[in-house]
Amino acid sequence: MRMIPLGNSGQKVSSIGLGCMGMSDLYGPSDRAESIATIHAAIDAGITLLDTGDFYGMGHNEMLIGEALKGRLRDQVQLSVKFGALRDASGTWLGYDARPKAVRNFLAYTLQRLGVDYIDVYRPARLDSDVPIEDAIGAIADLVKAGYVRHIGLSEVGPQTIRRAAAVHPISDLQIEYSLISRGIEDEIVPVCRELGIAVTAYGVLSRGLISGHWQRGDAKSGDFRAMSPRFQEGNVERNLALVEALRRIADAKGVTVAQIAIAWVAAQGEDIVPLIGARRRDRLAEALGSQAVDLDAGDISAIESAVPKNAAAGARYPEAQLVHMDSERQK
C-alpha cells in the first residue's frame, strides 16, 4: 500500500481509505461480525484511513470501529470523523449544528465511543448556515491546541467557504463526492484546493454501488438510501446502467472489474485525491484493493471518459431536500 501526503498537513495516509458508513446506516442491514472482519482486513492490507461520522447509525458506527480497534495499535490508523448532523430517534435528518459549544460536545462523545484520546481529522459534516465557518473552524482549532484533534478537514463545501476556513486554520482535506458520474468539483473546487494545498478525500467513488458493476434494478429495499436517490429512480437508472455497461466493455478488455476501473480512474486524477471505498464485506474490499494494481494510460483515460462522458449521469446525486444543505452545490 502506497502512503501519500494528505495535502500540506504533514500527515501521510494510505492511497485508498475505507468509508465505514454502510456498516451501520443507509444501505440496509449489515453483518456486525463481517463489518469488523472487513475493518481488520483493511488494516492488515495497509489501509490507514478510516472514515466515519458520529451520526452514522446515531453513534453505532463509531462504537463498531471502536470495537474493531481493540487490541490494535492506535497509530495503525487515522480516524476521520464528521460531526454536526442532527437526527431524531426514527433516523430523520433535522439539520446541522456547528456552534462552538456543540463542537466540543460532539467531540467528547466521539472520543468515548471510539475509545481513543484524539481524532486525526475532525470535520463539520456540512456547513451550518447559522454559524460562520470561521467560528466552527476556530472551535476545532481550540481542540487541536488541546491535543484532542490532530488536523481539521471540511466536507461538501464550496470555494468561498474553503478559503474562509483555510484563513482560520490549515485544512488537511476536503471530503466530497467524486466519481466518473459526479464530476462537479473539477471546475472550481479542485483548483481552489490545489491552490491552498488541500487534499480531496473522495467518497461515492462507485456512486453508492451504481457504477460498481454489481448493482441491478430493484436491489434497493426499504430503508436503503438508494430507494429515494434520484439516480436510482425509474427513468434515470436505465440511462445510468447503460453507462455502466459501456464502462464494463473497457474493464473487460483490461481484464479488471468495473469497480476496479472506476476507482482507478478517481485515483488517476491526482496524487492529492484519495478514494474512499465503502466496502461492507471482505470480498468487496478485496475487489476494491485490486484497483491499486490497475494502471491507466492516457488512452485508457480517454476511452473511459468517452464511455462515461462528463455530465452524462441522469438525476441529481442527492434528493433536493438534501442538496439545499450542501454548500458545495450552491457555490459552483
CB 285 within 8 A of CB 42: yes
HSE-CB of 104 using CA atoms within 13 angstroms: 9
- Kindly state the average pLDDT of the residues 129-151: 98
Mean pLDDT of the chain: 93
Task: Decide if pLDDT at 132 tops 60.
Answer: yes
pLDDT at 251: 96
Quick one: what percent of the chain has pLDDT higher than 70?
Answer: 97
Pairwise CA distance, residues 25 & 55, whole Å: 9
pLDDT tens profile 22-76: 999 777 778 999 999 999 999 999 999 999 999 999 999 999 999 999 999 899 9
Return the HEC string of the chain. Answer: CCEEECCCCCCEEECCEEECHHHCCCECCCCHHHHHHHHHHHHHCCCCEEEEECCCCCCHHHHHHHHHHCCCCHHHCEEEEEECEEECCCCCEEEECCCHHHHHHHHHHHHHHHCCCCEEEEEECCCCCCCCHHHHHHHHHHHHHHCCEEEEEEECCCHHHHHHHHHHCCEEEEEEECECCECCCCCCHHHHHHHHCCEEEEECCCCCCCCCCCCCCCCCCCCEHHHCCHHHCCCCHHHHHHHHHHHHHHHHHHCCCHHHHHHHHHHCCCCCEEEEECCCCHHHHHHHHHHHHCCCCHHHHHHHHHHCCCCCCCCCCCCHHHHCCCHHHHCC
pLDDT at 219: 61
Neighbours of 150 (CB within 10 A): 18
pLDDT tens profile 220-272: 555 677 777 888 888 898 999 999 999 999 999 999 999 999 999 999 999 99
Angle, vertex CA 216, rays to CA 215 and CA 220, nearest 5 = 85
Read off the pLDDT band of 316 (50, 70, 90). Answer: confident
Task: Decide if pLDDT at 331 tops 60.
Answer: no
pLDDT at 332: 46
Neighbours of 186 (CB within 10 A): 11
The whole model's pTM is what?
0.93
Query: Furthest-apart CA pair in the chain: how many Å?
Result: 55
Task: Decide if pLDDT at 199 tops 60.
Answer: yes
Residues in CB range of 331: below 8 A, 6 or more apart: 157, 158, 159, 160, 161, 188
> Is the Cα dihedral 147, 130, 109, 154 positive or negative?
negative
Which of 56, 148, 203, 318 is the catalytic position? Answer: 56
Pairwise CA distance, residues 321 & 313, whole Å: 19
Our answer to whether residue 56 is catalytic in this structure is yes
CA dist list (Å): 167 to 103, 195, 227, 280 = 19, 13, 40, 37
Pairwise CA distance, residues 44 & 21, whole Å: 20
- Kindly state the average pLDDT of the residues 138-164: 98
Task: Decide if pLDDT at 218 tops 70.
Answer: no
Strand pairing partners for 78? 49
pLDDT at 183: 95
pLDDT tens profile 71-118: 998 999 999 999 999 999 988 889 999 999 999 999 999 999 999 999
pLDDT at 315: 87
Quick one: what percent of the chain has pLDDT higher than 90?
Answer: 82
